[in-house]
Amino acid sequence: MTRITSPWRLFLVSLALLLAACQDASPQPQAPSNQLESILARGELRVGTRFSDTTYYEGADGPAGLDYELAAMFADYLGVKLVIDPSYSLSELFPKLEKGQYDLLAAGLTVTPERRKHFRFAPAYQAVSQKLVYKRGSPRPRDFDDLNGSLMVMAYSAHAERLAQVAKSHPNLKWTETSDMDSDELLQQVLAGHLDYTVADSNNLALNRRYYPDLMVGFTVAEEQPVAWAFPKTNDDSLYAALIEFFGEMSQSGVIARLEEKYYGHVRTFDYVDTRSFIRAVDRKLPRFQPSFEKYAGDFDWRLLAAMSYQESHWNPNATSVTGVRGLMMLTLDTADLLGIDNRLDPAQSIRGGASYLHQLYDRMPESIPASERVWFAMAAYNVGEGHVLDARRITEKRGGNPNAWADVKDSLPLLRKKAWYSQTRHGYARGDEPVQYVDNIRRYYDTLVWIQDQQLADKNVAPGSPQPTLQAPDENPSQVAPQD
């Protein structure tokens, strides 16, 4: 991340003062100081956002969200403090921006013609489409003429704007707008049967379907539209110029692509059957093995280890592949011997061995890889082999990417299937697309498992940070005697 150093900061201040002077020289009434000058003089960037998985939320390690991370980077780029004000409703954000309470809105806003009339937008950093959502089991609507029931969207949203446009050619289209519920809550209303339909952005829907696989897409309400930050529409170009520089640098350096991968890379595809099967397995199978995952997880979140085990064996302790790997963590015989595991079909031994091997791979990954991403490299190595992952890092560097960023290496791994690339590597051919899907699946399972656990704690009024309850498996009495390897 490039931070504006003192010479550049002085340059921006001088530029801001020059712009202000030019405005003062005009015959019009004297304009206030330009926005960038005000931000630099104040020493803080005031940003409005909204609570959402796609924008801003409080994670286990503090504030998170794609828009939040970008806003923090922009504040650092300017050399000022970030002051962020999250809201639950779009209806609160736009009036505050117009009154000057915020310098900008970083709230996952779709750029629409109506919004352009009132606000200015920074360069786009995403694109989303709008989807008509209904509950599985109900008749699928394939266009607006098929809608037969209640339709509700957020007030002040791009969805409401789009429906108003559609109503011009579909005069019978009816819907209601709410400022009391956000998009996630409207999706839950559809699931509960209180609403027949709502409209959701494609990225938000992808995140929600990890937990609610019965959310179905009827049809596309609006094709892809840009997503960008909004700020007041004035003749002041100072903040806009800084935003153009910032987003240009973030795009060129791959930061935006890596943030998209971090938040959305693992949810670009959806498998209804797999998601439903996993949620059922959390209830029916996981309780038996949870104590061992917790015991042997070490520095990892036990739920991440559990998600990895599900990807390996679907929590079947007797799983065996055609290549001879066996058990919950699907260990090879050679790996098991090295780890001191004498019975791969014993659940506790398999989990202990898998956890130990993952820790070893994690520790062997180059220290230049950020700790937050190193686990994805280690898991890919668990699947395809450490040498092939290191080869993919070298390919990434040759292609001009960042070998320490999972998003870039993820794009290079499938090239290990192509002779033009694997012939240049130390370890040769590999089915490099498989570790990509492997890691994506684990990330989805992990997110879903964390959400399920959080819901259970909330239902039991357990304070965050308290010991997590062991799930109870219904109608199961599994044998405690493990088969011999």
Closest to 483 measured CA to CA, from 287, 351, 319: 319
Contact 149, 197 (CB under 8 A): yes
d(CA 366, CA 426): 17
Closest to 46 measured CA to CA, from 239, 235, 263: 239
What the block records as the tokens of 389 is 């992952």
Contact 358, 382 (CB under 8 A): yes
Sign of the CA dihedral running 312, 441, 208, 48: positive
SS3 state at 43 = coil
198: left (phi over 0), alpha (psi -120 to 50) or beta: beta
Which residues neighbour 401 within 8 Å (Cβ) at sequence distance 6 or greater? 254, 408, 409, 411, 412
Residue whose entry in the numeric block shows the structure tokens 């900061």: 9
* CB under 8 A, 24+ apart: contacts of 353-357: 353/329, 354/305, 354/308, 354/309, 354/312, 354/328, 354/329, 354/330, 354/382, 355/296, 355/297, 355/298, 355/300, 355/305, 355/329, 356/296, 357/329, 357/331, 357/382
SS3 state at 218 = strand
- In DSSP terms, 456 is beta-bridged to none
d(CA 26, CA 23): 5
Q: Which of 260, 312, 367, 386 is catalytic?
A: 312
d(CA 354, CA 309): 8
Query: Amino acid identity, residue 113?
Result: P
Residue whose entry in the numeric block shows the structure tokens 């924008």: 55
d(CA 163, CA 153): 9
Q: Could you confirm whether 161 is annotated as catalytic? A: no
Helices (H), 127-201: 158-166, 183-192
What the block records as the tokens of 436 is 């990509």
- In DSSP terms, 151 is beta-bridged to 197
DSSP β-ladder status, 81-87 and 44-50 = parallel
Distances (CA, A) of 357 to 59, 266, 297, 381, 427: 28, 24, 11, 10, 20
Catalytic residue positions, numbered? 312
